[in-house]
Amino acid sequence: MIDLIRAAGLKPAGKFSFLSLAVTLALAVTALAGWLVLEDREALAVASAPSFSICKKTPYENCVVDGDTFYLGREPIRIADIDAPEVHPARCPYEAELGAMATKRLRDILNARPFELQPYERDTDKYGRKLRVVAQGGYSVGGMLVMEGLARTWTGHRRPWCDEQAI
């Protein structure tokens, strides 16, 4: 470290200030590295996650429940920026069909390449699921499902899907 400081052409006023500068720089680099590791810990875990399947039997692990909920390991994740049709139970045949399509599409997206979990306004929902915005390649996975007609943007409350079939 001292050689780097000297190579940069810095000339300390004395031995104490030179040592102080070296220690301060070392601490700053260490603190920055620690902050980056803590900040990216969740994203790094996701990048190395195994492939996802459709959830069938408990305990759920690395599987997709429906178009807006999946398990990363054994941790339930609720995609915070969307509402997808229910499949357990669906309220009508239209919701069941659309829900199955959304579930399969979310599974395919999660398996396609690494993704990141980004914090949301609240950490968990009333069911204890982690609320996260899921991003892949800089794009919201929820936004992808909305654009494909498999989900809606979350507005703070659920709306029935069965009313949509007449449209």
- Tens digit of pLDDT for each residue in 43-74? 544 655 579 999 999 999 999 999 999 999 99
**Model confidence over 122-165: pLDDT tens digits?**
999 999 999 999 999 999 999 999 999 999 999 988 899 998 76
- Kindly report the pTM of this predicted structure: 0.71
Residue 59 has which token pair?
């305990």
Pairing of strands 82-83, 152-153: antiparallel
pLDDT of residue 4: 45
Q: Are 33 and 60 within one domain?
A: no
Classify burial at 77, counting beta carbons within 10 Å of its beta carbon; exposed 0-12, middle 13-18, buried 19 or more: buried
Q: Quick count: other Cβ atoms within 10 Å of Cβ 49?
A: 14
Q: Is 72 left (phi over 0), alpha (psi -120 to 50) or beta?
A: beta
Phi, psi angle pair for 67, to nearest 5° = -70, -10
pLDDT of residue 36: 43
**Model confidence over 14-26: pLDDT tens digits?**
554 555 545 444 4
Overall domain count for the chain? 2
Q: Are 76 and 150 within one domain?
A: yes
Domain that holds residue 71: 50-166
